[in-house]
Amino acid sequence: MVSFEHILFAVDETGIALVTINRPEKRNALSRAVVRELGAAFDRVAEDPAIRAAIVTGAGDVAFVAGADIGELAGLSGAEMRQYALEGQRVLRRLETAGKPSVAAVNGFALGGGLELAMAATVRVASENARLGQPEVKLGLIPGFGGTQRLPRLVGRGRALWMLASGEPIDAAEAWRIGLVNAVTPQAELLGAARAWLGKVLQNGPLAVRLAMEAVDAGLNGGLNEGLQLEAALFGLSAATEDCREGTRAFLEKRAPAFTGK
């Protein structure tokens, strides 16, 4: 079992893993060590059959992740920064393609790499005091962990460029209005809201959920025609599962289904 220094990792009785970046004194900033530990945590989420879903959050009530560890990055060369970006992209993509639903519980500032991390989750729930943004241009940089790619996919080209080019953050209400976050809650109710959504998801067929996520991901990365072809193939695959037979039988028998993930 991997031990962690900068994050907390716990799995509850329902199979939900809670991954907490635990550097509140640094506003949970993403150092290279944190990124490596997140990579190990997301590998475990993807590979452990006992884990059915994940919540990612930050320690404390000030920041989810307030950005990169600038003091550390300031000493890196351009080539080292590129390698760091590639590693960060790989880690976030691991969460995004783990095949299991995830929620970013955004408790406060989600800036730079913090917003990029949140956008890699399946959905985002923000506390009322959250502020989200990509301020890299204020440092003479651009986002490196996928911000220029995921942000326009979530909110559209114009809104994404409004945020990316200005570097100014937006509050939780505006993030909800433009579709960057899926819900806004009081800080005290944030993890409860994340667990409540996952509780609904986990009542459904796990293979069907995974295939739906895969179809959306592939369709966004390709064209409409290719996405439709994949959807048809995955629809046929899901129809051949034991879960589909159980789900349709349960519907006709007016009872709750007992899915097995087969």
Report the distance separating Cα 67 and Cα 204, nearest Å.
Answer: 35
Residue 128: active-site member: no
**Residue 102, phi then psi, degrees to nearest 5:** -135, 150
Amino acid of residue 209: V
Residue 20: C-alpha distances to residues 42, 63, 112 (Å): 12, 11, 17
Report the distance separating Cα 110 and Cα 129, nearest Å.
Answer: 11
Helix residue ranges per DSSP H, the chain = 32-47, 70-73, 78-96, 113-120, 147-155, 157-166, 172-177, 190-201, 206-221, 224-239, 242-252
Point out the catalytic residue in the list 136, 174, 242, 253.
136
Point out the catalytic residue in the list 5, 25, 87, 116.
116
Residue 242: active-site member: no
* CA 14 distance to own-chain centroid: 19
230: Cβ–Cβ under 8 A, 6 or more apart, which residues? 215, 218, 219, 222
Q: Which residues are catalytic?
A: 116, 136
